[in-house]
Structure 1
Amino acid sequence: MTNSKGDRRTRRRPRHLTVDLGLLLTAVIWGINFSVVKLVLQHLDPLGFNALRFPFAAVAVWVLLRATGRPALPPRSEWLRVLGLGVVGHVIFQIAFIYGIDLTLTGNAALLLSTSPVWVLLIASALGRERFNRAILLGVIATLAGMAILITGGSQEVGGAGLGDLLVLGAALSWASFTVFGRRLTKRRGALEVTAWTLWAALPVIIVMGIPDLMRVDWSSVPVGIWFATAYTGIFGIAIAYLLWSRGMKAIGQSRTAVYQNLVPVIALATAWLWLGETPTAQQLGGAAVILSGVAVARGLAGRRRRPAP
């Protein structure tokens, strides 16, 4: 029996390794994505940009579904749930995210979005799916303190508690809601299916909302590189990253998956520094340290409380 258990653990390691590598890739994709989005928004309005990049994502997940022989449509019994998740996880999230990053610093956006795991725990606790404990409370308090340090500097260079910061925070809450409410459907139907279905459900709304912006674009003045950047944000920033994230949630659980999100603001700050010249301020770095500590406390201690005894 001992050998059998050892063999099962050995067989699981390669699978978990690919999942972990996929989540590491997701952190890199999302970290770079902040600066890419910021660059594209210098040439395109936010809703028009979303309307261009979402078709790239929709085609990418369709190709993956076809290649793996997965069902192209959800069962009728899941349509309402898929529609709701599409609105929360794509329409609301993307609008708040795209306008937020347009109105604040790239580093602020990445740090505020990194708070979403704490809101996941808080929402799950409110729904009775997670036991509210001291770890979650400490994590929430520390995260709120870090956010206060980050966005209340009284200077636009730091963020100044502006509308952009508040919109990105709304995006973090939207992503947390999508994560909590989509977990059971992902376990039942699969990460690729849920990613594709919810994205397609949101696609018509996002395109219609972006048409007025697209009609005002002077296409002759848009550099070719902007099209490649738009494709990157759609195919990698949305389709591939969402898929790898959902796969991680299903394979290794919420706590281990969410650890990789701590890397995103670090990569985003470094990329913005190198590409956009956004030198991190002392206040940003202080806020980052407190925010990431709060997220780590909430997830780490909560995860240990859930871990079964050996």
Structure 2
Amino acid sequence: MKRWTIEFLLLAVVVIWGINYTIGKYGVVELTAIDFTAIRMLIAAPLLLFITLGIERSILISREDLGRLVIVSIVGITLYQTLFMETIKYISATNASLLISLSPIFTTIFSLLMKQERFSIQKLLGSLTAFIGAALVLLVQDPASHQKNVVMGTMIGILASVSWGVYPILANPLINKYSALRVTAWSAMIGAVPLFLLSSSNLLSLSFHLKLTTWLSLLYSILFVTIFGLVAWYVGVQKIGATNTMVYMYVTPLAAVLFAAIWAHEHVYFQQIIGGSIIFIGLWLVKHKRIVRMSRAEHD
């Protein structure tokens, strides 16, 4: 596969993920966040395992790693995916995307606390800068939104960002031993179990005469966000390296904001633009030295 093809696939993935901040809202009008996520994972997880088997010729995980895999699955799938859907239900796609974009900051904080990385003034400065940007975004008062829902959605969004931030710290030992795709496929399968148990009574009594928009939101989430997105993402990781692939994540909030403004006619406030820019400056400060070091290591 040529380099430009991989780059195009990765760009398509982050745009798809950005659009999901708006499309996902249609899915939680009739369904709860847990029900929506349960249906999505129960369908996507077996397909991901099948794709992993086709690509890697194996989906085996050692018994000694099952405990960690369960924890990773609960945090990265059961908890984060449900919190993500709750976030986009209560607040604008713009604010939700900028909140979730804080997750690398939490990754850095947890990695420092768990001594997986060394402390540096630059990382501290970057983290504080990103939080200032987030504060500017969250202080925006949208007259079209109910204040109680905004506060609830913001709190849930922060929890989602924290859970997504701690996920790679917990998953790191597994990803170093297995492929990221295999870990993700099994995480989706295991994470779907508690989701099904929590929503089984609703799912069994659920009328499948749902609105077309609900079905389209589910279909988009299963086929494009989960299956195509994750497979293409990890092909990128395999072909051009994690560092070069992760850079594309910064496009996701931009795609989310633009699509929400065009499709859902969300008003983008100047304060949100300033806050989002400050968040990205903070992320750059946190990640810059690591990116330079990893890029040099890849060329050695």
User: Structure 2-normalised TM-score?
Assistant: 0.87
CA contact (8 A) 2:29 2:214 kept: no
Aligned match of 2:277: 289
Distance 1:203 1:123 in 2: 26
Aligned match of 2:86: 99
Distance 1:163 1:55 in 2: 28
Confirm whether residue 128 of structure 1 aligns to residue 118 of structure 2.
no
Tell me which of 120, 124, 142 is aligned to 1:137: 124
CA contact (8 A) 1:60 1:235 kept: no
Confirm whether residue 74 of structure 1 aligns to residue 57 of structure 2.
no
One-letter amino acid of the structure 1 residue matched with residue 170 of structure 2: F
Aligned match of 1:273: 261
Alpha-carbon displacement from aligned partner over 1:210-229 (angstroms, at most 9, x marks no partner): 23444665533x23343232
Aligned match of 2:102: 115
Distance 1:219 1:194 in 2: 32
Name the SS for the 2:268 alignment partner.
Answer: coil
Aligned match of 1:165: 154
Distance 1:175 1:241 in 2: 17
Alpha-carbon displacement from aligned partner over 1:42-75 (angstroms, at most 9, x marks no partner): 2322222112111221132022023235323411
Distance 1:158 1:224 in 2: 25
Aligned match of 2:167: 178
Aligned match of 1:34: 21
Alpha-carbon displacement from aligned partner over 1:165-212 (angstroms, at most 9, x marks no partner): 121121111111111221231121112211111111111111222234
Aligned match of 1:9: none
CA contact (8 A) 1:195 1:239 kept: no
One-letter amino acid of the structure 2 residue matched with residue 96 of structure 1: L
Compute the RMSD of aligned alpha carbons: 2.6
> In 2 relative to 1, CA 38–88 (structure 1 residues): closer, same or farther, beyond 3 Å?
same
> In 2 relative to 1, CA 278–136 (structure 1 residues): closer, same or farther, beyond 3 Å?
same
Q: Number of aligned pairs?
A: 296
Name the SS for the 1:273 alignment partner.
Answer: helix
Aligned match of 1:303: 291
> In 2 relative to 1, CA 250–31 (structure 1 residues): closer, same or farther, beyond 3 Å?
same
Tell me which of 230, 243, 268 is aligned to 1:242: 230
Aligned match of 2:246: 258
Distance 2:100 2:55 in 1: 32
One-letter amino acid of the structure 1 residue matched with residue 73 of structure 2: G
Residue 268 (structure 1) shift: 0.3
Aligned match of 1:3: none
Deviates more, 1:210-219 or 1:277-286: 210-219
Aligned match of 1:201: 190
Q: Which runs of 5+ in 1 are unaligned?
A: 1-13
Distance 2:195 2:248 in 1: 28
Distance 1:268 1:154 in 2: 19
> In 2 relative to 1, CA 248–182 (structure 1 residues): closer, same or farther, beyond 3 Å?
farther
Q: Which runs of 5+ in 2 are unaligned?
A: none
> In 2 relative to 1, CA 47–23 (structure 1 residues): closer, same or farther, beyond 3 Å?
same
Residue 105 (structure 1) shift: 0.7
> In 2 relative to 1, CA 155–227 (structure 1 residues): closer, same or farther, beyond 3 Å?
closer
One-letter amino acid of the structure 1 residue matched with residue 248 of structure 2: Y
Alpha-carbon displacement from aligned partner over 1:65-111 (angstroms, at most 9, x marks no partner): 23235323411111111101001101110121111111111111001
Distance 2:152 2:27 in 1: 20
Residue 146 (structure 1) shift: 0.7
Deviates more, 1:92-101 or 1:55-64: 55-64
CA contact (8 A) 2:98 2:253 kept: yes
Aligned match of 1:46: 33
Aligned match of 1:58: 45
> In 2 relative to 1, CA 153–104 (structure 1 residues): closer, same or farther, beyond 3 Å?
same
> In 2 relative to 1, CA 270–276 (structure 1 residues): closer, same or farther, beyond 3 Å?
same
